Structures are given as C-alpha cells and as structure tokens.
Structure 1
Amino acid sequence: MSETTSLTIDVVSDVVCPWCFLGQKRLEQAIEAVKDVDVTVRWRPFQLDPTIPAEGKDRKAYMQAKFGDGDRLKQIHANLVSLGAAEGISFDFDAIKVAPNTLDAHRVIRWAGPVGEAVQNRLVTGLFGAYFERGENTGDHQVLIAAAREAGMDASVVETLLPTDADVEAVRTEIATAARMGITGVPCFLIEERYAVMGAQDTETIADAIRQVAAAKARGELDKAG
C-alpha cells in the first residue's frame, strides 16, 4: 500500500484480565510495526465476573475458589510473569489483595473516550499497571480518580460522576452487545467492526491482521462486503 489506510480497532477488554494487559502491549507493538496504516484504538468494556460486589472480594480466597489450593494457579502466574517480562510488564500477583468489580473502571474508560484516543489509552495502561504491577484496588474510587488525573482527564468531573449512576446502564449495554456478538473471552480485537482477532495473540499475528484488513479496505472490498 502506497497510501495510508485508516482503520479502527475496538478492543474488548477487562482491566483485571492479565491477558488483556499482554494484548495491549502487543497491539501497541503491532501498530508501530505497520507504519502505512493509521490505526484508531477504542476500548470497550467486558466483565470477567460482574457478580463481584462493589467493595470487591479477598483476591486470595477468590482465586482459590476458582483454581483450588494446588499448584495450578502458581503455574498460571509463573507463566504470565514470564510472558509479561518479555513485553515490559512486571506482574506482581502477590501484591494484589482485592478482586475488584470493574464496572466503575469501565465507566471512567468510557468517559475518557471523548477526551481523546491518547488519553483513553493512557488511562487503560495506567489501570493495568495499577492493578497488576502495584496491586492497587481498581474498584476504589480514589484509585480511579488518580488514574484519570494521571491520564490527562479532568479529575473533578470523574470525582463528581463516580458516586452517581452515570453511564452504568450504557456500560452494561455495551457488555451485553459484546455477548450477543459471540465474544465470550478477552481480549478481542475487533477490526473495522467486523474482523475479530481473539486472545492475546503475538505481535506479528495482530500486525498481519491489520495489514490484511487495511489491504482489503484499500481495494474497496470492505464496502462490497458491507
């Protein structure tokens, strides 16, 4: 492609999903590798467990209930630590004390969207780091307000809106829409709202998908398919 093609990628993700953190890093690298495609990234909500109460749960007990007391969880964490190191992520699972409900985090991510793509990306990156590298409770409003401020949002607006029901139903509707589309696991990279790359694929796989869809769009094939 000699001319720049523009694509939109909607990333369906949850901020307590370690694979989504890996996927975010690999997506960044994939976009960097595909210089002739102008990619716009939008973050979409998903909740791995919407039944967690607003105050969260003790993470150790929560994970033991899911994975048992054996070595399975240790092996999963060790694998993620290794994979994360390769992507510049310092996973610290021992630091995480609370398994949070992520609805409020998704509300803040939604509010970051109109502020700008770069701000929303910084917020998502900040929330991943806060939870997985520093063990912060990303269901806590003060943690969310601080992350919003660091990302470049107006923290006073976030502080005002969080205690209300603003966009609660909008976020839940988006999550329900993802389920109707057949998205049952995350991350899911939805390119041009029609081509899905499922899971934290390696950087080259994501980059290749971007190239293929961009080439098809440049040939006008997406318009024909639509």
Structure 2
Amino acid sequence: MTNKPIQIDIVSDVACPWCYIGKKHLEKALEGFENQEFNITWHPFQLDPTIPAEGLAREEYFINRFGSAERIQQMHERVEGVGKEAGIQFEFEKMPKVINTIPLHKILHIAREEGTQNELEGRLFKAYFTDGVDFSEKENILAFMEDFGWSREKTESVLADDQIAYWVTQEIKHFQNLGVSGVPFFILNNKYGLSGAQPTSVFKEALEKVAEELKPVEVSGNACEIDGDNC
C-alpha cells in the first residue's frame, strides 16, 4: 500500500528572490522521497502591488525602498551567496526594472489548471533573476510564453482577461486573511506552515513528519479470509 500524495501549497511572488531559493531547497528535499508522491501548487502574492504596470527603474526603486546603495549591495550579496549554494546564479545588475507581477500571476493561474505551473514558475524565476527579462514589456511576455509552448493569441487573451485578474487578487486576499504577510510561505497537507526559504534539512524533516502521519496503521482483528476458513 502506497501513501497518499502530500499536498504542498506555496504562496509566492515571482519578483521574490527568496521564493526562488525556497523552491530550490524544497526540490532538493524532495529528492529523498523516492516512494512518495507530491502535489505542488503555487499561489499568488504581491510584495508591492503599488508598482505600476510599466514597472519602475530598479536602482531608484531599491534606494527609495531600502535606503543606501551600500545596504542594497549587502542585501544582494547575501542573496547571491545563498543562491549560489542552491544552484542559482542571481544577476541583479541585469534587471532593468522592478515589475508589477499580476500579469505573470494570471498566466500562472491558467498554467495551474493545465498542470504546467511548477515548471513555468521555475522558468519565470530564472528569466527574471538570471536572464534579466523585462516582464513589464508585454512583448517580452508574449515571446517568453511562445517559447514555453503557448500561442501569442492565448497569452494575449489571458493577459486581457479581467476575470482572471479578479481570481488572482481574491486568492492573494485569501492568504493575507490567513495571516501570510511574507513569502515564500509553504503549507504542507493543509496542516503545517513553513515561513521563508528554509534550509533543505528543515523541509526534509517536516516532510518526513507528514509522510509518517500518512502511513497506514495495521490493526489485527477478526476478518474474513479469501479461503473462507475464518468466516
């Protein structure tokens, strides 16, 4: 008898470097569970919903939000160091803008329905943080999704759909109402919450606990057997 799949819900923003690191740490932890299935679902969050659709210049934005250039450099160096250990090459200097991530969350919403969300999330992280793709430009989104396998018409339709935007914003509010104020935030089997890009060892320990709870319990008792001897 196999265990039931473990559900992993991840509240995340595409423009969050620690969410990218958390994804890598989680994936490393999952490698140790050969006979256990996992269902991974990503949920939207916005670190700064006030960023306009056209984006903002990166350097100016970071200074206004975090202070001096020295402090920003220290923050980036810390992220780059942890990211390198996780197998990520952060290239903050390549990022021309900070972006409003609602358009990308709309696309991820549909990808979730199609079963490609987890793969797409990883590609978006890499494109934004390593390749320096400016997702504030719609043409760049269209080209990126075309490479992913979507037609330009499909992507255009999703980006223009106000109903999808409503669902995304409602989902963001839902997790905020649950108390999620920072990302990444991981929810295991709707029971355990892990905040932040935890080390792989922490993910592994938590997943082992969940997997142990899912193991079937055998209790001996009177039962009918196939040959009918005990009935």
Q: Please say whether Structure 1 and Structure 2 have the same fold, judged by a TM-score greater than 0.5.
A: yes
From the superposition, tell whether residues 151 and 11 of structure 1 become closer, same or farther in structure 2 (CA, over 3 Å): farther
The 3 A distance-change label for structure 1 pair 54 and 103 is: same
Q: Give CA-to-partner distance per residue, 1:20-60, whole Å, 9 cap, x none.
A: 00011111111112223211111100000001111111111
In structure 2, the residue matched to 1:94 is: 93
**Residues in 2 aligned to 1:110 and 1:156: alpha-carbon distance in whole angstroms:** 17
Corresponding residue of 2:158: 161
The aligned runs of 1:6-45 (5 Å cut-off) are: 6-45=5-44
- Which one of the candidate residues 197, 207, 212 is aligned to 1:210? 207
For 1:148, the equivalent position in structure 2 comes to 145
TM-score by length of 1: 0.90
Superposed counterparts of 1:53-202, under 5 Å: 53-116=52-115, 119-202=116-199
Structure 2 Cα separation of the partners of residues 146 and 123 of structure 1: 14
CA shift in 2, pair 1:205/1:62, >3 Å: same
1:224 is aligned to none
1:62–1:154 CA distance, 2 compared to 1 (3 A): same
Conserved 8 A contact 1:7-1:214? yes
Distance 1:154 1:218 in 2: 43
Counterpart of 2:228 in structure 1 is: none
Deviation per CA, 1:53-79: give whole Å up to 9, x if none.
111111110000111124111011011
The number of aligned residues is 217
Q: 1:77 to 1:60 in 2, by over 3 A?
A: same
Stretches of structure 2 lacking an aligned partner (at least 5 in a row): 218-231
Q: Which amino acid aligns with 2:181?
A: T
Contact in 2 for aligned 1:130/1:138 (Cα 8 Å): no
Q: Distance in 1 between matches of 2:17 and 2:11?
A: 13
> The residue matched to 1:167 in structure 2 has which SS?
helix
Change (3 A) 1:39 1:67: same
Residue 185 of structure 1 aligns to a residue whose secondary structure is coil
TM-score w.r.t. the length of structure 2 is 0.88
Task: Letter of the 2:169 partner, please give it.
Answer: R
Moved more, 146-155 or 85-94: 146-155
- Indicate conservation of the 8 Å contact 1:123/1:148, yes or no: no
Offset, 1:87? 1.4
Whether the aligned pair in 2 keeps the contact of 1:112 and 1:153 (CA below 8 Å) is no
Instruction: Kindly state the Cα deviation for residue 195 of structure 1 after the two structures are TM-superposed.
Output: 1.3
In the TM superposition, what is the alpha-carbon distance from 1:4 to its structure 2 partner?
Answer: 3.3
> Which range is displaced more, 64-73 or 11-20?
64-73
RMSD (Å), alpha carbons: 1.7
Q: Percent identity of the aligned residues?
A: 35
Larger Rg: 2
Judge conservation of contact 2:3–2:214 (CA < 8 Å) in 1. Answer: no
Q: Please state whether the residue corresponding to 2:168 is helix, strand or coil.
A: helix
The one-letter code matched in structure 2 to 1:204 is: S
* Cα distance in structure 2, aligned partners of 1:190 and 1:62: 31
Corresponding position of 2:222: none
Take 1:100 and 1:183, find their aligned partners in 2: how far apart are those partners?
A: 21
